[in-house]
Structure 1
Amino acid sequence: MTVPYDPDNIFAKIIKGLIPANIITKNAHALAFHDIAPKAKIHAIVIPTGPYQNFSEFNSRASQEEKNDFWNLVEETAHLLESHFLEKAEDKSQSGFRLITNQGPNAGQEVEHFHVHILGGQKLFPLHSES
Protein backbone atom coordinates (compact mmCIF):
# COMPACT_ATOMS: atom_id res chain seq x y z
CA MET A 1 0.00 0.00 0.00
CA THR A 2 1.45 3.34 -1.07
CA VAL A 3 1.17 6.20 1.39
CA PRO A 4 0.50 9.61 -0.21
CA TYR A 5 3.14 12.34 -0.04
CA ASP A 6 2.92 14.31 3.21
CA PRO A 7 3.07 18.04 2.34
CA ASP A 8 3.86 18.76 6.01
CA ASN A 9 7.10 16.75 6.17
CA ILE A 10 10.13 18.63 7.47
CA PHE A 11 11.75 19.05 4.04
CA ALA A 12 8.51 20.40 2.54
CA LYS A 13 8.42 22.92 5.40
CA ILE A 14 12.02 23.95 4.65
CA ILE A 15 11.13 24.44 0.97
CA LYS A 16 8.14 26.62 1.97
CA GLY A 17 10.33 28.65 4.36
CA LEU A 18 8.34 27.52 7.42
CA ILE A 19 11.40 25.98 9.08
CA PRO A 20 14.84 27.60 8.94
CA ALA A 21 17.75 25.77 7.34
CA ASN A 22 21.40 26.60 6.81
CA ILE A 23 21.13 26.87 3.01
CA ILE A 24 24.28 26.18 1.00
CA THR A 25 22.93 26.79 -2.50
CA LYS A 26 19.80 26.32 -4.58
CA ASN A 27 18.44 26.46 -8.10
CA ALA A 28 15.00 26.38 -9.72
CA HIS A 29 14.27 22.76 -8.75
CA ALA A 30 16.58 21.84 -5.86
CA LEU A 31 17.87 23.04 -2.51
CA ALA A 32 21.05 22.13 -0.59
CA PHE A 33 21.52 22.70 3.13
CA HIS A 34 23.64 21.53 6.06
CA ASP A 35 22.32 18.55 8.03
CA ILE A 36 21.34 19.53 11.59
CA ALA A 37 22.79 16.28 12.98
CA PRO A 38 25.95 15.76 10.90
CA LYS A 39 27.46 12.28 10.62
CA ALA A 40 30.75 13.60 9.17
CA LYS A 41 32.73 16.85 9.08
CA ILE A 42 30.90 17.59 5.85
CA HIS A 43 27.24 16.55 5.83
CA ALA A 44 24.80 18.24 3.49
CA ILE A 45 21.38 17.27 2.20
CA VAL A 46 20.12 18.02 -1.30
CA ILE A 47 16.38 17.85 -2.01
CA PRO A 48 14.23 18.43 -5.06
CA THR A 49 11.65 21.16 -4.51
CA GLY A 50 8.91 19.00 -6.00
CA PRO A 51 6.82 16.55 -3.92
CA TYR A 52 8.69 13.27 -4.43
CA GLN A 53 8.79 10.68 -1.65
CA ASN A 54 11.80 8.68 -2.80
CA PHE A 55 14.32 8.03 -5.55
CA SER A 56 11.99 5.78 -7.57
CA GLU A 57 9.19 8.32 -7.56
CA PHE A 58 11.55 11.16 -8.46
CA ASN A 59 13.13 9.10 -11.23
CA SER A 60 9.77 8.15 -12.76
CA ARG A 61 7.76 11.38 -12.27
CA ALA A 62 10.16 14.33 -12.35
CA SER A 63 10.68 16.23 -15.58
CA GLN A 64 14.07 16.05 -17.27
CA GLU A 65 14.65 19.68 -16.25
CA GLU A 66 13.98 18.83 -12.58
CA LYS A 67 16.33 15.84 -12.76
CA ASN A 68 19.07 17.88 -14.42
CA ASP A 69 18.76 20.71 -11.89
CA PHE A 70 18.75 18.26 -8.97
CA TRP A 71 21.80 16.24 -10.04
CA ASN A 72 23.68 19.38 -11.10
CA LEU A 73 23.07 20.83 -7.63
CA VAL A 74 24.26 17.61 -5.98
CA GLU A 75 27.51 17.84 -7.95
CA GLU A 76 27.91 21.59 -7.34
CA THR A 77 27.28 21.21 -3.60
CA ALA A 78 29.68 18.29 -3.20
CA HIS A 79 32.51 20.09 -4.97
CA LEU A 80 31.78 23.41 -3.24
CA LEU A 81 31.88 21.84 0.23
CA GLU A 82 34.93 19.73 -0.53
CA SER A 83 36.85 22.75 -1.91
CA HIS A 84 35.86 24.90 1.07
CA PHE A 85 36.89 22.17 3.51
CA LEU A 86 40.24 21.53 1.81
CA GLU A 87 41.08 25.26 1.80
CA LYS A 88 41.01 25.17 5.61
CA ALA A 89 42.33 21.64 6.21
CA GLU A 90 45.95 21.09 7.15
CA ASP A 91 45.67 17.47 6.00
CA LYS A 92 44.77 17.62 2.31
CA SER A 93 44.40 13.81 2.20
CA GLN A 94 40.88 14.13 3.61
CA SER A 95 39.41 14.79 0.17
CA GLY A 96 36.59 12.76 -1.30
CA PHE A 97 32.90 12.44 -0.54
CA ARG A 98 30.08 9.90 -0.42
CA LEU A 99 26.53 10.25 -1.80
CA ILE A 100 23.77 8.31 -0.06
CA THR A 101 20.04 8.03 -0.58
CA ASN A 102 17.76 5.73 1.39
CA GLN A 103 14.48 4.43 0.02
CA GLY A 104 11.94 3.12 2.50
CA PRO A 105 12.13 2.35 6.21
CA ASN A 106 14.22 -0.82 5.79
CA ALA A 107 16.93 1.28 4.13
CA GLY A 108 16.76 3.94 6.84
CA GLN A 109 14.72 6.64 5.09
CA GLU A 110 13.52 8.89 7.91
CA VAL A 111 11.92 11.73 5.93
CA GLU A 112 9.42 10.80 3.21
CA HIS A 113 10.84 13.31 0.73
CA PHE A 114 13.56 12.24 -1.71
CA HIS A 115 16.97 13.49 -0.66
CA VAL A 116 20.65 12.77 -1.09
CA HIS A 117 23.19 13.00 1.73
CA ILE A 118 26.67 14.29 0.89
CA LEU A 119 29.26 13.14 3.44
CA GLY A 120 32.97 13.96 3.51
CA GLY A 121 35.79 15.84 5.17
CA GLN A 122 37.20 12.74 6.84
CA LYS A 123 37.87 9.06 6.29
CA LEU A 124 34.42 7.48 6.14
CA PHE A 125 33.51 4.05 7.48
CA PRO A 126 33.54 1.26 4.90
CA LEU A 127 30.26 -0.05 3.56
CA HIS A 128 31.62 -3.59 3.42
CA SER A 129 33.37 -5.94 5.81
CA GLU A 130 37.16 -5.99 5.74
CA SER A 131 37.22 -9.74 6.54
Structure 2
Amino acid sequence: MTTDSPAPRAPYDPDNIFARILRGEIPAHRVYEDEATLAFMDVMPQGEGHTLVIPKAPARGLLDADPASLAALMASVQRVARAVKAAFAADGLTIFQYNEPAGGQTVFHLHVHIVPRRDGVPLKRHEGGMADPALLAQHAARIRAALEAGEG
Protein backbone atom coordinates (compact mmCIF):
# COMPACT_ATOMS: atom_id res chain seq x y z
CA MET A 1 0.00 0.00 0.00
CA THR A 2 1.27 3.46 -0.87
CA THR A 3 0.22 6.77 0.51
CA ASP A 4 0.11 9.91 -1.50
CA SER A 5 1.78 12.77 0.27
CA PRO A 6 2.06 16.30 -1.01
CA ALA A 7 5.25 17.24 -2.77
CA PRO A 8 7.67 19.06 -0.49
CA ARG A 9 7.70 22.82 -0.85
CA ALA A 10 10.74 24.49 -2.30
CA PRO A 11 13.01 26.21 0.22
CA TYR A 12 13.16 29.96 0.62
CA ASP A 13 15.05 31.56 -2.27
CA PRO A 14 17.22 34.45 -1.00
CA ASP A 15 17.33 35.86 -4.54
CA ASN A 16 13.56 36.42 -4.87
CA ILE A 17 12.59 39.93 -5.95
CA PHE A 18 11.45 41.03 -2.48
CA ALA A 19 14.69 39.84 -0.85
CA ARG A 20 16.52 41.85 -3.51
CA ILE A 21 14.39 44.92 -2.72
CA LEU A 22 15.25 44.49 0.98
CA ARG A 23 18.96 44.43 0.10
CA GLY A 24 18.58 47.56 -2.06
CA GLU A 25 19.47 45.73 -5.28
CA ILE A 26 16.15 46.63 -6.91
CA PRO A 27 14.46 50.01 -6.42
CA ALA A 28 11.03 50.27 -4.84
CA HIS A 29 8.70 53.10 -3.88
CA ARG A 30 9.01 52.66 -0.12
CA VAL A 31 6.31 53.99 2.18
CA TYR A 32 7.17 52.57 5.61
CA GLU A 33 10.02 50.72 7.25
CA ASP A 34 10.86 49.59 10.75
CA GLU A 35 13.31 47.07 12.18
CA ALA A 36 11.14 44.09 11.17
CA THR A 37 9.13 45.12 8.09
CA LEU A 38 9.08 47.10 4.85
CA ALA A 39 6.09 48.50 2.93
CA PHE A 40 6.25 49.61 -0.69
CA MET A 41 4.05 50.18 -3.73
CA ASP A 42 3.03 47.20 -5.87
CA VAL A 43 4.35 47.82 -9.39
CA MET A 44 1.36 46.01 -10.90
CA PRO A 45 -1.41 47.55 -8.81
CA GLN A 46 -4.93 46.21 -8.69
CA GLY A 47 -6.12 49.63 -7.60
CA GLU A 48 -4.81 53.09 -6.84
CA GLY A 49 -2.59 52.89 -3.76
CA HIS A 50 -1.97 49.09 -3.84
CA THR A 51 0.74 48.57 -1.23
CA LEU A 52 2.74 45.51 -0.14
CA VAL A 53 4.06 44.83 3.35
CA ILE A 54 6.80 42.25 3.87
CA PRO A 55 8.82 40.96 6.81
CA LYS A 56 12.56 41.51 6.70
CA ALA A 57 13.09 38.00 8.07
CA PRO A 58 13.17 35.36 5.34
CA ALA A 59 9.91 33.41 5.06
CA ARG A 60 8.48 31.79 1.95
CA GLY A 61 4.91 32.21 3.19
CA LEU A 62 2.63 32.41 6.19
CA LEU A 63 3.28 28.82 7.26
CA ASP A 64 7.07 29.32 7.30
CA ALA A 65 7.14 32.57 9.25
CA ASP A 66 8.48 32.83 12.76
CA PRO A 67 5.56 33.83 15.02
CA ALA A 68 7.35 36.96 16.27
CA SER A 69 8.08 38.06 12.69
CA LEU A 70 4.46 37.37 11.77
CA ALA A 71 3.22 39.47 14.71
CA ALA A 72 5.45 42.39 13.64
CA LEU A 73 4.23 42.01 10.06
CA MET A 74 0.57 42.19 11.08
CA ALA A 75 1.19 45.27 13.26
CA SER A 76 2.79 46.99 10.25
CA VAL A 77 -0.04 45.86 7.96
CA GLN A 78 -2.54 47.49 10.31
CA ARG A 79 -0.54 50.71 10.56
CA VAL A 80 0.05 50.99 6.80
CA ALA A 81 -3.56 50.00 6.01
CA ARG A 82 -4.86 52.88 8.12
CA ALA A 83 -2.58 55.29 6.26
CA VAL A 84 -3.50 53.86 2.84
CA LYS A 85 -7.21 54.19 3.62
CA ALA A 86 -6.74 57.81 4.72
CA ALA A 87 -4.38 58.75 1.86
CA PHE A 88 -6.85 57.56 -0.78
CA ALA A 89 -10.08 58.49 1.07
CA ALA A 90 -11.10 54.87 0.51
CA ASP A 91 -14.49 53.44 1.41
CA GLY A 92 -12.78 50.24 2.53
CA LEU A 93 -9.76 48.00 2.04
CA THR A 94 -9.05 44.60 0.58
CA ILE A 95 -6.20 42.89 2.38
CA PHE A 96 -4.97 39.54 1.11
CA GLN A 97 -2.05 37.13 1.30
CA TYR A 98 -1.31 34.12 -0.93
CA ASN A 99 0.58 30.89 -0.12
CA GLU A 100 2.21 28.59 -2.67
CA PRO A 101 1.38 28.40 -6.39
CA ALA A 102 -1.93 26.61 -5.85
CA GLY A 103 -2.93 29.48 -3.55
CA GLY A 104 -1.98 32.13 -6.12
CA GLN A 105 1.46 33.10 -4.77
CA THR A 106 3.94 34.18 -7.44
CA VAL A 107 6.69 35.82 -5.33
CA PHE A 108 7.91 33.41 -2.69
CA HIS A 109 8.64 35.85 0.12
CA LEU A 110 5.79 36.34 2.59
CA HIS A 111 3.86 39.49 1.67
CA VAL A 112 0.51 41.10 2.38
CA HIS A 113 -1.40 43.18 -0.18
CA ILE A 114 -3.32 46.29 0.90
CA VAL A 115 -5.68 47.70 -1.74
CA PRO A 116 -7.86 50.74 -1.01
CA ARG A 117 -11.37 50.26 -2.38
CA ARG A 118 -14.28 52.40 -3.48
CA ASP A 119 -17.86 51.19 -3.55
CA GLY A 120 -18.71 49.76 -6.97
CA VAL A 121 -15.13 49.85 -8.36
CA PRO A 122 -13.77 46.37 -9.16
CA LEU A 123 -10.18 45.32 -8.64
CA LYS A 124 -7.97 45.42 -11.72
CA ARG A 125 -6.15 42.30 -12.88
CA HIS A 126 -2.81 41.92 -11.11
CA GLU A 127 -0.98 41.02 -14.29
CA GLY A 128 -2.38 44.07 -16.06
CA GLY A 129 1.03 45.63 -16.58
CA MET A 130 3.47 47.83 -14.75
CA ALA A 131 2.29 51.17 -13.42
CA ASP A 132 3.90 54.47 -14.31
CA PRO A 133 6.80 54.97 -11.85
CA ALA A 134 5.97 58.67 -11.45
CA LEU A 135 2.42 57.77 -10.40
CA LEU A 136 3.72 55.17 -7.94
CA ALA A 137 6.04 57.80 -6.48
CA GLN A 138 3.07 60.16 -6.01
CA HIS A 139 1.04 57.42 -4.35
CA ALA A 140 3.93 56.53 -2.04
CA ALA A 141 4.26 60.20 -1.05
CA ARG A 142 0.54 60.35 -0.18
CA ILE A 143 0.85 57.30 2.08
CA ARG A 144 4.03 58.61 3.76
CA ALA A 145 2.25 61.94 4.39
CA ALA A 146 -0.67 60.11 5.99
CA LEU A 147 1.73 58.17 8.21
CA GLU A 148 3.52 61.38 9.21
CA ALA A 149 0.15 62.98 10.00
CA GLY A 150 -0.54 60.14 12.43
CA GLU A 151 -3.09 58.41 10.20
CA GLY A 152 -1.28 55.08 10.51
**Category of TM-score, reference length = shorter chain:** 0.7 to 0.9
- The structure with the larger Rg is 2
Q: 1:41 aligns with which of 35, 43, 48?
A: 48
- Number of the residue aligned with 2:76: 73
Deviation at 1:81, TM superposition (A): 1.1
Gaps of 5+ in 1: 87-93, 127-131
Identity %: 32
Q: One-letter code of the match for 1:42?
A: G
SS in 1 for 2:13: coil
* Alignment deviations for residues 56-112 of structure 1 (CA, whole Å, 9 cap, x no partner): 111xxx152x233211110011111111112xxxxxxx4210110111111210001
CA distance in 1, matches of 2:62, 2:41: 20
Matched, 1:112 2:108: yes
Instruction: Give the CA RMSD over aligned residues.
Output: 1.6
Structure 2: runs of 5 or more not aligned? 1-7, 124-152
2:88/2:116 contact within 8 Å kept: no
- 2: CA distance, partners of 1:73 / 1:81: 12
Indicate if the aligned counterparts of 2:61 and 2:108 stay in contact, CA closer than 8 A.
yes
Structural mapping, 1:1-131, within 5 Å:
1-58=8-65, 62-64=66-68, 66-86=69-89, 94-123=90-119, 125=122
Tell me what 1:91 maps to: none
- Equivalent-residue separation in structure 1 for 2:21 and 2:48 (angstroms): 22
Distance 1:71 1:54 in 2: 13
SS at match of 1:42: coil
